[in-house]
């Protein structure tokens, strides 16, 4: 399987931004009990780098949701594939997302988690494509606003390929 890509954001640019975001999150949650909820699978690389860059302690948990399947365009139908292992009742929760596109998946996830009575619920995303937004949702913390191009690398995939790329790349063409 091969694909032609173009680097959009280098690993160095990404690491610098992650450190900036971690400093802000550390300041905002300095005296709180922070729970990072990672949206699998794409956000796991971002979560790891963010967690290592925080100046405060944080617990982590994972959710897997899907609205893409094997497609490159969201179906709009959200399914929870893996739920949290613990209660978030009265916890300060920060959803860690890789990219916000239409916002449909994240909007569903936010409403689902709000129904579980967290003390606070915020969203951090590495990437945002605001021009694609359908749902009314905005991140509380955002690394980069990017153009409407299909991106892979740094944990993001196309049909489970390209996650290993250290840079964030635009997928120009794909050959099976």
Catalytic residues: 101
Buried b (16+ CB within 10 A) or exposed e, 109-136: bbeebeeeebeebbbbbbbbbeeebebe
The total number of residues shown for the chain amounts to: 176
């Amino acid at each position: 399987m091969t694909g032609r890509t173009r680097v959009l954001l280098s690993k160095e640019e990404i690491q610098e931004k992650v450190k900036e975001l971690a400093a802000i999150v550390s300041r905002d949650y300095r005296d709180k009990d922070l729970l990072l909820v990672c949206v699998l699978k794409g956000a796991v690389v971002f979560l790891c780098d963010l967690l290592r860059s925080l100046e405060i302690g944080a617990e982590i948990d994972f959710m897997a949701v899907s609205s893409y399947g094997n497609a490159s365009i969201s179906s709009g139908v959200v399914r929870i594939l893996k739920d949290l292992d613990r209660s978030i009742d009265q916890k300060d929760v920060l959803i860690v997302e890789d990219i916000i596109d239409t916002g449909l998946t994240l909007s569903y996830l936010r409403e689902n988690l709000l129904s579980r009575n967290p003390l606070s619920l915020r969203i951090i995303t590495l990437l945002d494509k605001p021009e694609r937004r359908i749902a009314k949702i905005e991140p509380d913390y955002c690394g980069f606003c990017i153009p409407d191009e299909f991106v892979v690398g740094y944990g993001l995939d196309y049909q489970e390929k390209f996650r290993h790329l250290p840079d964030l790349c635009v997928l120009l063409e794909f050959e099976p």
